[in-house]
Amino acid sequence: GAAKQVKVLSDNDMERIRQIPGVESVRPAISLNLQYITRDGQKKYVGTMQEFSSYKKPDLLAGTIPKNIPNHSLIIPEGFLEPLGFTNAQNAINKVVRVAVQKQVNQTAIISSILKGDVSSLKPNADNSNNSIEEQFKVIAVTKKPSTLVQPGTELYLYGNNSDVVRLNDYTTQNSLDYHKYLLAYVKVINGTNITTLNDAQAKIKKAGYSAQSVIDTEKTLTQVITVLQGIVMVFGLIAVVASVFGVVNTMYISVLQRTREIGLMKTLGMHKRDINKLFLFEAALIGLFGGLLGSLTAVTLGTLLNPWISKKLSLGNISLLDFRLDQIIGLILMLVIIAVVAGLLPARKASKLEPIEALRIE
């Protein structure tokens, strides 16, 4: 199919959204790619810098985040401590780091040079002093690695105030087609905690021709993903239950065949059909009980051992992906006992109908 063009937001779009009833404020979502971040005696590392928003409530290893972040102040993530030579989070507080950004290529100038046949201006300049700037920032806080990574990579973002991020972004995009152009914008809704008000403002933004997604929409998407995963697990669970039913039936039929003479002897001694039926159903129930106990014990043991590894690999922090509740385990075992009894009905019925004389003749 045809490629879909990605639309960007301009300052005019920002103002237009700002005028929509119910909208309190609008600000561009800027992800500033740094040329490097470093400090004296350390290597240079690339990074991404964003404006710190009040709605973000990260766990801090050290420092504090004031309501109004001062200019040339920086919040760094835990992942940058070792590369920048800090022994610990507290050691980084009030230390100075250097941040550099580089101007983007002037696309208009390149196109003009190509059309004119002047390729000399396209040669890289060894001296980038006119195309980049380096500024000093003071570290005011260190963020802890988030317990869950909804967006992988965000755990390495650096944060500054709006003034610094916008100023540096304007420098990098000056004379380029990206100047004052944004892919996303954050919209704050008046009384946004009210779902009705939020949905109303979101509908008006969409009606104005923009795509809008709220935190509630994100939660719904995550819920749908979890529901699908749970459905997949249920399907595998049903397959396991069906397999266990056939296993119990097969085991009980073999038991009936192996104990045919024993059944005949019990009937000869006066045992009633219903008693033999109960005996085999009881055996089926024991199979379900011990199978459930063994399976639950294995699952809990493996889950307890694997949970820390899974949480570490998926960066889930202290969250346990494999959660075991006693009431659910007991309910599962009871369900397996019932399934085993139901599966044992046919073999038990066959055992109870055996004729004593015929059964005793079988070797």
Specify if 324 maps to a domain. yes
The number of folded domains in the chain is 2
Phi, psi of 268 (to 5 degrees): -65, -35
Residues 348 and 288 in one domain: yes
Residues 43 and 170 in one domain: yes
The confidence score (pLDDT) of residue 3 equals: 47
Local structure of 306: helix, strand or coil? helix
Residues 165 and 270 in one domain: no
Residues 144 and 239 in one domain: no
What whole-number distance in Å separates Cα of residue 362 and Cα of residue 351?
14
Specify if 162 maps to a domain. yes
Handedness of CA 283, 285, 286, 288 (dihedral sign): positive
The confidence score (pLDDT) of residue 324 equals: 76
HSE, CB side, 13 Å, CA atoms: give it for residue 78.
11
Residues 46 and 146 in one domain: yes
> Residue 284's domain spans which residues?
220-361
The confidence score (pLDDT) of residue 2 equals: 46
Ordered DSSP codes for 102-133: EPPP-HHHHHHHHHHT--GGGSPPS--TTTEE
Whole-number average pLDDT of the chain: 80
* Domain limit, last residue, from 150, 181, 212: 181
Q: Which residues, other chains included, contact 343 with Cβ-Cβ below 8 Å and sequence gap of 6+? A: 244, 245, 246, 248, 249, 252, 284
What whole-number distance in Å separates Cα of residue 307 and Cα of residue 98?
40
And the tokens for 19?
């005028």
The confidence score (pLDDT) of residue 188 equals: 86
Specify if 189 maps to a domain. no
Phi, psi of 157 (to 5 degrees): -75, 140
Residues 342 and 293 in one domain: yes
Residues 245 and 355 in one domain: yes
Specify if 199 maps to a domain. no
Residues 145 and 276 in one domain: no
Specify if 213 maps to a domain. no
Specify if 7 maps to a domain. no
The confidence score (pLDDT) of residue 278 equals: 84
What whole-number distance in Å separates Cα of residue 168 and Cα of residue 328?
55
Specify if 124 maps to a domain. yes
Residues 232 and 302 in one domain: yes
By CB atoms closer than 10 A (0-12, 13-18, 19+), residue 99 is buried
Q: Which of 82, 202, 94 is nearest to 138 (CA)?
A: 94
Residues 35 and 171 in one domain: yes
Specify if 230 maps to a domain. yes
The parts of the chain modelled with pLDDT lower than 50 are 1-3, 126-127, 149-153
Residues 120 and 232 in one domain: no
SS3 content of the chain, % helix, strand, coil (to 5): 50, 15, 35
pTM above 0.85, yes or no: no
Residues 174 and 38 in one domain: yes
The confidence score (pLDDT) of residue 351 equals: 75
